[in-house]
Amino acid sequence: MMTSNPLDHDTSDSEPAGIRLAEAARETDNAAWLDDLTIELRLLDVPGTAIGDAVASAREFLADSGARAEESFGSPARYAVELDLPTLPEDKSSNREVLLTSGIGVIGLGVLGQTAYPLAGGDDGLAVRLWMVVSLGATILLLGLIPRVIPVLLRARTRPRTVGLIAAGISFCGFCPVLLSVWWGQVVLFSVPALPVAIGAGILLLAPAIWNQLRQNLQDDPIIEPGTNAAPVLSRGVRLLVVGVNWIMVVYGAISFVLTFALYPNN
């Protein structure tokens, strides 16, 4: 008389489950690796069509072979360099334009916020204090570091510790003017008329948003998979998000300015 061992059934049931888990883990790792490869190729200024071809070829190989991307190709950064794909000509003027418009908008937002207080209180003069000058210098410094920080953040998005250290450094630079104002940053260096400065700050805040909106191209070198003829069409939600990001400083500045007048103690 033959009997069955329950452990045999458990083993036969657990093997397919283990295989499925391993397969799911492999697909997840490969998808993350392909995302990293896409970012690395973008950072190398590879055209979108070439990126689409490279990613599609790697994805097809991984699907057919059942291998892990890290074992087959190595790190995404090294593999992106080894592909030696053609790159777009470096447009330094475009990079300078982005930094310039961003810097002008940030400076306009900060200055507009400072003019709101004396204007709301009926004071025609704006006292320029030491901490304001330090804040302006810190802003210019941070804007100069943006081109170097962004690639590091993109590569480190899966490493929370690195992202945390960068965020801590940026926060420290932001808190320095606050600490300075607590100690001796309230020293008045000179005074300027508040209303003309507010008008100029409003123009500095509004002009970059208008310029970027006019020059914005939502289909700038999209990544196109092989076999497709048209670039992917962005959804309405994505388009609204892009527009919102472009105008967020203007909206924030306007709301802050109005609230300062509405909530000022003497009003």
pLDDT single digits (tens) 77-118: 899 999 988 887 765 556 667 777 888 888 898 899 889 988
Res 34 pLDDT > 50: yes
196 versus 153: the higher-pLDDT residue is: 196
Average pLDDT of the residues in 56-74: 91
Res 121 pLDDT > 50: yes
Amino acid sitting at position 19: I
pLDDT digits (tens, 9 = 90+) for 237-246: 656 766 777 7
The full length of the chain comes to 267
How much is the mean pLDDT over the chain? 78
SS3 68: coil
Specify which of 10-14, 99-103, 178-182 reaches the highest per-range mean pLDDT: 99-103
Res 36 pLDDT > 70: yes
φ, ψ of residue 261 in degrees (nearest 5): -70, -40
Q: What is the DSSP string of 169-222?
A: HHHHHHHHHHHHHHHTTT-EEEEEEHHHHHHHHHHHHHHHHHHHHHH--TTSS-
pLDDT for position 2: 44
> In terms of Cα–Cα distance, which of 41, 65, 63 is closest to 53?
41
Q: Where exactly are the structural domains of the chain? A: 14-83, 92-263
Other CB atoms within a 10 A radius of the CB of residue 200 amount to: 14
How many CA atoms lie within 13 Å of 67's alpha carbon, on the beta-carbon side? 13
Contact (CB, 8 A) for 129 and 180 = no
b/e for 5-23, b at 16 or more Cβ within 10 A? eeeeeeeeeeeeeeeeeee
